Every structure is written in C-alpha cells, then in structure tokens.
Amino acid sequence: MFDVKTFSITSSIIMSLFWNPAGRLLVGATLAIPMGTVGLLTWKFRDRLSEMVEMTPLAKKALLLHAGYFASCIFSFEILIEDYPMNTTGSIPASPDNLFWQMTCLSGELFFVTMCAYGLMASQDAVPRWTWLIPFAQTSYNLKNSLIWTLLYSIFSPVGKPIELMKLDAVLIAGLFVTYVYTFFTAGVSGYQRIN
C-alpha cells in the first residue's frame, strides 16, 4: 500500500541528496563518463592523435547539425531563457543574482565555442585525429547530463522531477555520438599528413 508520509520523507531525503556531501560524491561519480571516454580514447590512440583523418560527408553533416543546434542554445540561454522551450525546464529565481547571471553567460560561451569548433571541423577535408576528442568530450558530458536529468532525476533533481525537454536532446546527442564514434574508427587517414 502507498504510504504518503513515508513517500514524503523519502522524497525529501532524495531531493536534498545533491545538496549534501554524499550527493556531491554521486555527482562526482557521474563525471567518470566523460572523463573516462576522453581519457580512454586519448590513451588508446596516443601514438596516432596527430594523424590527419578524412572528414566524411556524414561527419560534416553531423557536425553542422550539432553546430546549428548549439547556435540556437546560445540565444536560448543568453536572451530567451524565460521563454519557450527553456521555461519548460524550470523557473528563474524571483531575484536572480550574479551567480544566475554568470551561469547563463557561461552557458552561452560554451555553446558558442563548441559551435565554432564544430563548424570549423566541418569546413575541413581532413582534421587531426585529436580534434575528434572535442565532440567526444562534449557528447559524453551531455549524455552524462541526460542520464541524471531524465533517468536518475529522482536522485539528483532538487525538485525530484525529470527535465522532459532533455529527452529529445538525449536522442539527438546519442545519434551524433554514434556518428562521431563511427567516423573516428572508420574514416580513412588523409594523404595530407602533418610534417614533424
């Protein structure tokens, strides 16, 4: 039988988890996803990171799609944060302070830098293999966030609810991640090699 009192107490404990040291340790544990992804690929390909890898048409399209998506995110965070679709993820504090302002600016900055990197990568016929670590770093971190926002929200969310909008984001990012993995492992090495 469902006990409202027990549920209420349990929910309060779970919702406060992030804000206590044990919760922060759990958040820290999720960082193993992006750090492990980039660390493993860097170690595995340590002797081949400078080789030039051909940019396939599929990779170029994926990078341009990703760059376009992130271009829209810049405006969503910096200018339109109180509008749809951002207003579906939560509410702006009644009295935003400098931390809130700083987080919106830093979000826009990171989306801009990544958008530029993806656009520049897509404009090339070949790139050094190490540049693929940029999309791997971003997508693996994004998928880590998707995991805690959409599946493990009952543990991590301060309000105990999933961020529904991020389910669509997760599908897009997972598809892009698969495309990047496929490119990284199958694209040919370009005849244009860097001279050491």
pLDDT in tens, 68-109: 999 998 888 788 767 766 666 677 778 878 888 888 888 889
CB 108 within 8 A of CB 36: no
pTM for the whole thing? Answer: 0.81
Residues 6 or more apart whose Cβ sits within 8 Å of residue 7? none
Two tokens, residue 183: 């490119």
pLDDT at 7: 43
Over the stretch 34-45, which tens digit does the pLDDT of each residue have?
Answer: 999 999 999 999
